[in-house]
Chains A and B, each alone.
Chain A
């Protein structure tokens, strides 16, 4: 078990090391997020929205930025292996689930880095007041994980296809839309101290992320096998 974990961490570490050297995905993520945030902040800012609308609308905007940044930055996690011809080596070196776990970890770290940078900035610039900050963080973490799991398996799928640019987004969106709905509701609930809705939303988010994780773990070897 620990051997498996060590191998998965090794895969993730290799990817992260390469990523922090070239910062291709990170740049896409961060650039997209910052540009969108700037646009939103400039046009809407902290004063334009009425107090009652704020929690809901700001939640929506936050998650839109996170999601689109993720779609922009996370599509290449497997394509880059195919392109640099390191994929066959990876297939030999590690068991499929190890590769999956490693890539998942990699995507997760990227998303967490994005959120750590984006969320405080968003809250400050947009004047987003959160009534239950720890629960807010929990929604973010759960959402980030759901995002990571889904984008990992979809990235694996498109690496095997003749990727026409938008295919990654086209495939991810229907799977992520339900998650998005609950994330927005959960974030709004955390911002407005609505404990019941928060609990329901978090439960839904975690079950969706959990289901996606289990199925991805089983289906990834099928996709990865040549």
Chain B
């Protein structure tokens, strides 16, 4: 591990430790939030953001794989899907805790919760498909196709479900993450948290890719 890499990683450690401290002990309680629930936002928003970003990366990589047929695109698709699943689970859990504190129930199928659930299902299905195919090229192809099909359904969720939902469920909470009410201190910590989580994901992603490349090289040696 080189000097620069090591420094960056330790910097990340200190950064995130700082974010955690700030989120709990430096930031005061926020207006308009019940209890201390505003602090969850610092962890919930970045994880949701990374989960969605990972999904995009996975879909784009899948498209690139079908176009170019280069293994590196398949690695990217697989690793970001795994990462995305992890972050989606975290986002769901933190979101549910937030919902419980703010509105009394862990789960009420509001549009965001519905969308993240479907994202979870897509990730899980994608990984299940990958594990069911032995041949690497076939696995990459089928997974890529599924990834694109999944991507087709997502826009309908993101934009249409919220609109229609409200006509049937008037008691559903409209503001799942009221980050537009945050003052500058909150905003700074949120952005810092976002940066930290992104840095962490990039690190995890690169490790995942390196593992895939090692596996690939080993297989090529055997053949």
Contact = CB atoms under 8 A, between A and B. Distances in A.
Decide if A and B touch, CB cutoff 8 A. Answer: yes
Interface of A: 56, 153, 157-158, 160-164, 167, 170-171, 173-175, 177-179, 181-182, 185, 188, 196-197, 200-201, 204, 207-208, 211-212, 215-216, 219, 222-223
B156 A171 contact: no
Given A162-B134, A204-B164, A171 B128 contact: yes
Given A157-B145, A185-B168, A164 B132 contact: yes
Interface stretch (B9-17, B88-96, B147-155, B205-213): B147-155
Given A162-B134, A167-B128, A200-B164, A178 B153 contact: yes
B125 A171 contact: yes
Instruction: Indicate the member of A163, A170, A207, A211 with the most B CB atoms within 10 Å.
Output: A170
Contacts of A181: 114, 161
Given A157-B146, A197-B167, A222 B156 contact: no
Contacts of A215: 148-149, 152
Contacts, number: 89
Q: Which of the four size classes fits the interface of chain B?
A: 20 to 34
18 contacts: A153-B149, A157-B145, A161-B129, A161-B132, A167-B128, A170-B128, A170-B129, A173-B125, A174-B118, A174-B122, A178-B118, A178-B161, A188-B168, A196-B167, A197-B168, A211-B152, A222-B141, A223-B141
Contacts of B148: 215, 219
Nearest to B133: A161
B58 to A, nearest CB: 14
A212 B141 CA distance: 18
Main secondary structure of the interface of A (DSSP, over half): helix
B160 A219 contact: no
B146 to A, nearest CB: 6
Contacts of B134: 162
Interface in B131-190: 132-134, 138, 141-142, 145-146, 148-150, 152-153, 156-157, 160-161, 163-164, 167-168
